[in-house]
A = this chain, B = another copy of it.
Amino acid sequence: MTKRVYNFYAGPAALPLEVLETAQKELLDFNGSGMSIMELSHRSKIYDEVIETAKKDIKNLMGLDDSYHILFLGGGASTQFAMIPYNFLKEGMAGDYIDTGAWSTKAIKESKKIGETNVLASSKEKNFSYIPKDFTIDENAAYLHITSNNTIRGTELFTFPETGNVPLICDMSSDFLSRELDYTKFDLIYAGAQKNVGPAGVVIVIIKDSMLGKIKDADLFTMLDYRTHVSKGSMFNTPPAFPIYMVGLVVKWLKAHGGLAEMEKLNIKKSKLLYDAIDNSNGFYIGATAKEDRSRMNVTFRLKDESLEEIIAKEALENDLVGLKGHRSVGGLRASIYNAVPYAGVEKLVNFLNDFMKKHS
């Protein structure tokens, strides 16, 4: 018997069961080839179809046309922190950043290694528990970099800055494809797959064609130069073929389940159910972030009696509710309820939280 639990890990995280079942079924013989998808040359026709369909489906879901390129790269979002200033931060310009938590902070650190770096706003003084909204964009900036969702603290951007001619670059790792947005506002989007759209090992980079002309006129390292990957369609070297295939299955699943509009509705419904349970607990559970900036992806909370936090995480595990411990840097509890976490999983969690509260009130 295959055992399945409800998985609230922050990433790598839950994948849709149907996607896993498809991968399992065709793992030894992909599409009648007599080979696993992992054994296929990345230059074979059959693999080409896999990667090109994934690109097309992502564009389609996001409403992007061919002025955007979809790249599948290795090295994770952490490598993007470096690649962005390495490509775009030219002499005489500054990289502008909004600091909304650990991931923004890491991106800022890499940028400082390259050139002038301005932090326009930060919520650090309140432990990144809210999204700063007051800042002035420098019209001569090389770009403005933002992080749309802070996985660790559980905040999310719901209004995006108008940047005029300044390119808007966004790390969407933890809420990628979770909602409808006007994605044409963005000049570069990147997202590690392992939160919302696949397994670890691939970062999706969506780059507007006009950004290629803004890259430094320098002999950059081949693998760190966005032009390399755009010109070769992510096939300059062997791409992370299996993670890309899994992303392809997930986006197909997204399309089959109503696309981003339906996914957003479900994410609103799921997160509301959980935040309501917290807010209606008479202070037994305490939401960890500003209400208007609460993430629909990572619901963070504390117990009024912090000594119960170890116990609740342990009891949750005994109830097949996995991954509820907060990030090791902040403690507390965190339920990551990405696209693939079903409504029934959140219901079960809410029932568990209510039962736990009754026992310990």
Q: List A residues at the B interface (Cβ < 8 Å).
A: 2-5, 7, 9-15, 17, 20-21, 23-24, 27-29, 32-36, 38-44, 73-79, 81-82, 86, 106, 109-110, 113, 192, 194, 199-202, 219-224, 236-243, 246, 320, 322-323, 328
Report copies per complex: 2
- Name the B residues within 8 Å of A13 (CB-CB): 39, 41
A199 to B202, CA, bound (A): 13
- Name the B residues within 8 Å of A243 (CB-CB): 201, 240, 242-243
- Name the B residues within 8 Å of A202 (CB-CB): 201, 240
* B200→A239 contact, CB < 8 A: yes
Q: A2-B28, A20-B27 are in contact. Are A9 and B40 (CB under 8 A)?
A: yes
What's the least CB distance linking A79 to chain B, in Å? 5
Q: A24-B24, A74-B74 are in contact. Are A242 and B39 (CB under 8 A)?
A: no
* A113→B241 contact, CB < 8 A: no
- Name the B residues within 8 Å of A36 (CB-CB): 15, 20
* B221→A110 contact, CB < 8 A: yes
What's the least CB distance linking A14 to chain B, in Å? 6
What's the least CB distance linking A24 to chain B, in Å? 4
**CB-CB nearest in chain B for A1:** B29
* A15→B39 contact, CB < 8 A: yes
A104 to B228, CA, bound (A): 18
A73 to B2, CA, bound (A): 31
- Name the B residues within 8 Å of A328 (CB-CB): 43
- Name the B residues within 8 Å of A81 (CB-CB): 222-223
CB-contact partner of A24 in B28, B78, B320, under 8 A: B28
* B241→A12 contact, CB < 8 A: yes
* B75→A223 contact, CB < 8 A: yes
* B241→A199 contact, CB < 8 A: yes
* B41→A9 contact, CB < 8 A: yes
- Name the B residues within 8 Å of A220 (CB-CB): 113
- With most chain B CB atoms within 10 A of its CB, the pick from A33, A78, A200 is A200
**CB-CB nearest in chain B for A198:** B38
* A223→B78 contact, CB < 8 A: yes
* A35→B76 contact, CB < 8 A: no
* A238→B28 contact, CB < 8 A: no
Q: A12-B241, A28-B21 are in contact. Are A38 and B199 (CB under 8 A)?
A: yes
* B74→A79 contact, CB < 8 A: yes
A238 to B29, CA, bound (A): 29
Q: A106-B222, A221-B110, A222-B106 are in contact. Are A4 and B74 (CB under 8 A)?
A: no
What's the least CB distance linking A292 to chain B, in Å? 29
Q: A15-B36, A200-B239 are in contact. Are A222 and B78 (CB under 8 A)?
A: yes
A260 to B215, CA, bound (A): 46
Q: A9-B40, A27-B24, A223-B78 are in contact. Are A4 and B242 (CB under 8 A)?
A: no
